């Protein structure tokens, strides 16, 4: 009897130790509200919509980490998006569309494999004044290099995440270095549909700067026409007490193959925020998108947005925004598909401007 009790005590000790060395966290956010937009059709009508993820994308995620000893750890992330209007998945038949990766980390950094946010996306986060809020209104989050979601020409222009990605992240003092290689998985070629990127960020005192370069070869116009795509981004931010200001730029070029010239898309922005109290903040920004493509009218989209938040608690805030967008040019097609700019709110026929107002509640859990 004594031996049995001793054995149970030892097993319990081992179980407690193992449990202490690993953990899984369930997290997420839900955002719901109301949004009104003007000039949604040729007649200039307004539209009142139920909001879903207007301020911050809805998500449900799982994160786990296990201590392997010697400063090493194993970790994973599974994250999926959903609609708070209907409960549907953000991407049909895709449970974890926002992230699905596993990796190993240590004092030297971390290596992760799977679906994950791109190097460009992670670098840009430091100098977007809205920090990727209002993702369906502000173009920056979808403009970052990626291949998970096809925007613009088939498989090209933005995307923010990479499938089949092998990514390294290392932080050394004030510098964070990143590199990735996303496999294209094409027979007979290691470059077709693949992507490579490097990036670095520096934070010193109130200043932070970052830059990233991504080179990939997506299929454009047709599913077998793989052409070069190159994107680079640079920006910086300054934080002084309750005040923050940020500026950034993204330049992307897409070859089409068989068509003279390149498709080009350039995003530039400037903005800032001010915390009036620990609970109340106001952020404003100007975002400009220019697109060009052979045989297609050049376009320009200019967005000015002001957003306010009031924290009801550490996890729940009320938000309101007013945004005005002006359009110049058109969003033509190339080879039967949208050439550039499809990710940036194509205007209704005969309309060159749109005003939106959003109110809602965002909760973290």
pLDDT digits (tens, 9 = 90+) for 43-98: 999 999 999 999 999 999 999 999 999 999 999 999 999 999 999 998 878 899 99
**How many domains is the chain built from?**
1
Residue ranges making up the domain that contains 127: 31-364
Closest CA to 236 of 288, 183, 272: 272
Q: Give the contacts of 160 (CB within 8 A, at least 6 positions apart).
A: 117, 118, 121, 141, 142, 144, 145, 146, 148, 149
pLDDT at 21: 63
Closest CA to 140 of 49, 284, 249: 249
Measured distance CA(288)–CA(300) in Å, rounded: 7
Whether residue 15 lies inside any domain: the answer is no
pLDDT at 351: 83
Reduced 3-state DSSP string for 19-71: HHHEEEEEEEEEEEEEEEECCCCCCCCCEEEEEECCCCCCEEEEEEEEEEECC
Phi, psi of 339 (to 5 degrees): -80, -65
Measured CA to CA in angstroms, residue 99 lies from 68, 116, 117, 126, 343 at distances of: 23, 5, 7, 20, 21
DSSP 293: E
Measured distance CA(122)–CA(144) in Å, rounded: 9
State the DSSP H helix or E strand holding residue 227, giving kind and residue range, or none if neither: none
Predicted model pTM = 0.88
> Which of 115-129, 152-166, 296-310 shows the lowest per-residue confidence on average (mean pLDDT)?
152-166
Chain segment 322-338, per-residue pLDDT in tens:
999 998 875 544 443 44
Q: Quote the tokens at residue 254.
A: 């897409």
Whether residue 259 lies inside any domain: the answer is yes
The chain-wide mean pLDDT, for the chain, equals: 87
> Which of 212-226, 252-266, 312-326 shows the lowest per-residue confidence on average (mean pLDDT)?
252-266
pLDDT at 195: 95
pLDDT at 259: 62
High-pLDDT (> 70) share of the chain, %: 85
Tell me the CATH number at 302.
2.40.160.10
Whether residue 20 lies inside any domain: the answer is no
Q: Quote the tokens at residue 82.
A: 């959903």
Residue 327: how many CB atoms within 10 A of its CB? Answer: 23
User: To the nearest 10°, the Cα dihedral for 124, 129, 134, 137?
Assistant: -80
Whether residue 51 lies inside any domain: the answer is yes
Measured distance CA(336)–CA(225) in Å, rounded: 14
pLDDT at 336: 38
> Which of 25-34, 243-252, 332-341 shows the lowest per-residue confidence on average (mean pLDDT)?
332-341
What average pLDDT does range 217-227 have in this prediction?
83
3-state SS assignment for residue 315: coil
Whether residue 345 lies inside any domain: the answer is yes
Measured distance CA(107)–CA(249) in Å, rounded: 32
Whether residue 200 lies inside any domain: the answer is yes
pLDDT at 17: 41
What average pLDDT does range 15-24 have in this prediction?
59
pLDDT at 157: 54
Measured CA to CA in angstroms, residue 166 lies from 96, 112, 212, 247 at distances of: 17, 6, 16, 29
Whether residue 62 lies inside any domain: the answer is yes
Task: Show the beta-strand stretches assigned E in the chain.
Answer: 22-37, 47-52, 59-69, 72-81, 99-106, 109-117, 161-172, 175-182, 195-204, 207-216, 229-240, 243-255, 262-275, 280-293, 296-311, 316-329, 333-334, 337-338, 353-364
Measured distance CA(164)–CA(168) in Å, rounded: 14
Evaluate if residue 257 carries a pLDDT over 90: no
pLDDT at 238: 98
Whether residue 237 lies inside any domain: the answer is yes
């Amino acid at each position: 009897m004594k031996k049995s009790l001793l054995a149970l005590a030892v097993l319990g000790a081992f179980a407690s130790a193992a449990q202490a060395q690993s953990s899984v966290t369930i997290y997420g956010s839900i955002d719901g509200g109301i949004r009104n937009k003007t000039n949604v059709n040729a007649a200039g009508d307004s539209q009142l919509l139920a909001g879903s993820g207007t301020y911050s994308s809805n998500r449900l995620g799982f994160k786990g980490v296990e201590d392997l000893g010697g400063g090493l750890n194993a970790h994973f992330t599974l994250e999926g998006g959903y609609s708070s209007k209907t409960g549907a998945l953000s991407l049909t038949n895709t449970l974890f569309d926002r992230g699905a990766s596993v990796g190993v980390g240590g004092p030297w950094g971390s290596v992760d494999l799977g679906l994950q946010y791109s190097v460009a996306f992670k670098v840009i986060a430091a100098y977007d004044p809205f920090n990727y809020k209002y993702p369906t209104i502000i173009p920056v989050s979808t403009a970052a290099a990626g291949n998970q979601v096809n925007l613009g020409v088939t498989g090209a222009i933005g995307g923010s995440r990479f499938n089949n990605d092998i990514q390294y992240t290392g932080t050394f003092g004030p510098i964070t270095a990143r590199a990735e290689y996303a496999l294209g998985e094409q027979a007979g070629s290691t470059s077709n549909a693949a992507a490579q990127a490097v990036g670095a960020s520096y934070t010193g005192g109130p200043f932070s700067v970052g830059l990233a370069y991504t080179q990939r070869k997506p299929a454009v116009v047709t599913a077998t026409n793989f052409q070069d795509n190159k994107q680079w981004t640079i920006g910086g931010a300054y934080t002084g007490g309750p005040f923050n200001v940020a500026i950034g730029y993204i330049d992307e070029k897409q070859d089409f193959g068989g068509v003279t010239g390149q498709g080009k898309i350039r995003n530039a922005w400037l903005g800032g925020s001010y915390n009036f109290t620990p609970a109340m903040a106001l952020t404003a920004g100007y975002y400009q998108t220019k697109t060009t493509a052979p045989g297609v009218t050049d376009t320009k989209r200019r967005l000015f947005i002001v957003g306010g938040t009031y924290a009801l608690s550490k996890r729940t805030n009320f938000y309101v925004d007013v945004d005005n967008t002006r359009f110049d040019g058109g969003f033509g097609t190339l080879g039967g598909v949208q050439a550039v700019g499809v990710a940036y709110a194509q205007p209704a026929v005969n309309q060159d401007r749109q005003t939106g107002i959003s109110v809602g509640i965002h909760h973290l859990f």
